[in-house]
Structure 1
């Protein structure tokens, strides 16, 4: 944006505020001719300018509006400034400058350069400032392995391969996930092509294949197709076949991509190389455009096409299990989880898109034994796939294995019904503890007291004679002191515990994509629901799962109806239209807070979309399992007693 235009908007915004009236962001946006988002961004900088120059302060109140708070003297000073529009010099956000400069670099063709002099003229900045912003641009580009080269007597250009350029450009266009901003960026980069025709082609293919993308996924495909069309005669992406291409061509992502490019060729009368098809199919696989398929469908595809992956997972569980001295090979839930996780991981690492794991330091510290054992997979991974498995990726695998270990080592409480002497009861107690190490605690109760008071806390109830009580936990063993009695007891305990575990106490792999440890908060201290929901919504927005408007739609729901469901629990959600990727946030409070007519200390904030068959199936699965989990009092106690977000995350996927 040119300097004069910037100052014009700054002045117009201040004119809306100078009288001290309460005005909404929308009212200012309508008066000035900008979007609400742009107004919100500018207000922050304008407020800093006012305070630095002692001309008042802009006060804001959610759902009410904003106003200028100043003395009469400060108001006169501001009025004097506004009479000369050129004097309203609001400091630019450095991030805005970086994004403006990156926009210029991304528009350069491979053979084009730009000098420092031209950059100073286009950005209205001094040469030293331009050099500083270039260094910031280099930091932004570094994760993509894109460099800014400075050619003597020619100027600056981007130094990278075609694949790196395309991924970086796509992320730049979508760096601020706002439909208006994305459209503006696309108009800037693709002004010379019929983007509406490309968009229509993707939508038609989407309908033919019965896919319903999230907004983010659709834009990613849209942008990659525009880049492919724009650069078809400049350079093609390079796709090396190191073993995965034949497998990729058998998954749904590949034929779907073929269908998109076939339609584009028919409508645009151009030819796209096979490299273009493979590149976009790989990006779909890496970025999970269509979302993780239903578990059964994913496993069916893997079993049909990718014996190598199944073999790797089996071998990994065998190796790690041997290191930890535990049998992991029979844990089907663990095996399924690793297959679903590793399928896109292989493609991500192959093409330089490995995920970062903000929890890796915690994982290495808290689960050091499992982490060290799991690192052995790295050697096998390199042998199988010729790739380095990063510690970030290892960290994700550790969480699955740790949860499996805790399933195996799960302890249980026993109630012993004993109508004999204290000495006999003590003997039986010691015998049981010595023979069955998984027993965590044994309580002794008489038959009379059991029938009178009952028991709700024990996992297993052991008695030496039949009781006139119906309870699936009861095991009758007449000869408890004999070896055969202990063998029979162990067998029946396994039956009881298996029956108990069939009641849902955690989520199935189908629901794992909805969970993110960084969105789980324990031991929270909030005084009201608005501030808590604002915090949770912001966390989701920062991770890119929802838009910045998501919180407003959450509060609209809170106004419309109560979201507390009893047992000190609230389940609330925002509008689907503001959800980018379906996710769930959980907050556990140290003390209950007022929630309309109830009190709440456990909050589930749902950012869900139900626009594709896969999403609908996953959300239905979530609600079914979620209800089963919270209906059990012992589960709620465990959830509310967790010491960290990792503990709660593990409990939910164990």
Structure 2
């Protein structure tokens, strides 16, 4: 990657004067804290791509820069610097492409000349950009066309086009260029924004709801772009059919129409004003107390059924289920309108996040039927990923609150809604056992409650104006940012500059005098890290990350398979499978007693795919380590009116390590072909081959 002119100057300035502070850089270049953070991220991406150590900041705002970076990049006008600025516009290519999309969305005529002149790049660059955009839009079945009469324009489903634009608007709002893009390139005035924001506030008051902070910020921009698109004649060809009556009969619809009509903001087209109302209804909210004709009690009931099925499938008991149900209801109430009426999700979930979530996502998707029954629609994958993220936040290792060891109280402030808040709060809660976190706040809630809060520390995804110490954590909790956050926390709580005590810093000193083989260096780093974390009570657990990448074939091995050929009953199978776990020192003998007390018969909550019985209990009942025992019963055994042929006794030690194996076991239980192969298997080797085949 390359750096734009601004970031070239920043890197050269920091490299030339390592004592320069964040505040000085912001003042010199007219940057906000978010803009500087974004630039530092871009610079660090550039450094890592070119095999340099990234920069980090101390609590006082100074930058800690590797000597090689100083040698190669210092000097604002150093002719020997390896750093060369790009000659393109100050906009990164990524955001230049987004501007092109938004211009096409909102303008009535655009030519190559318009793009080239507006963005200050060559026509060849614009041609190349549009080619890239066409490839990006392919997955949405949207194309960019050109004619002399129309200029550049979109061709595709209008509702899909608007969904893409909503996602792009969100993305632009997160960038350092948001003001420039909307005001300079799209000619949107601050007065227009304020008028739309006032409209949103009036709807809030009429409905007696609170929208999340980021929706209040982003929705006005999308509403202005939407108005321009309608004025340019791009109208929906969807009438929503008979489903529209359900919305039109609600008090929310009537309230929104009242506000829109009172301000002359109601589109003339029936489909357009219904779309606008649905968009507003789908905005994320912060409470359910005074909103929605939607039957929220029925929604909670279906959520409860979903959680019960999920717990069965992943062999865990989720903590604080009442709060989980309430928070999921809070998220799913506005999502109902997106799902029910096919509105494109407003969320963009990265491939990296999806890869991290995959095993849990599969289990959530396999348990989603109760929610789909409520919506009477298939739930899109991106919505299921959001639900997965939310469930994952409740699967964190629980940290018992020990007031005698709690050093400070803290609060998380996050404008992005309940899912982001909960994930961030749980991540930080796990990192810092010495901190007691009170429930998270939105920005508005924080300012309203600030004087009443008994906290000594605030973690926020955005800068705040407050007398309390604020650590701005952003939405990126990568390893690099974790080090920065940990250092700031340690300095605030223990009054120590911990950077010089960190393992990498210590290792750098040692390596000046001793050459270390890579494997020895890694072992020393791990031991130093353990010691460092122990001294400052820092945990090292990542959100939703299955730390030990075990597969089912790693847990079910030849010694954990038993073949039962004679007459059996449920109790004898339960004894034999659990005894296998006892003999392999996976569980204590009392584990069997707990299972016998809990499951005198085969109950629905230990049935996987209605074919495989999975007896298990909580770790406190005698679990020593993760393990399974797979039993195939040739003649089967009866329980009630059913007959079963497979039992997998399970010992789970936490809420994460066994998720991948359970996902693979559920795949077997749900696959008729694999079950037929299992029925035909007569040896341990054949069973192991089937189990290994399901591994990704």
Q: Which has the higher contact order (CA 8 A, sep 6+)?
A: 2
TM-score normalised by structure 2 residue count: 0.47
TM-score normalised by structure 1 residue count: 0.49
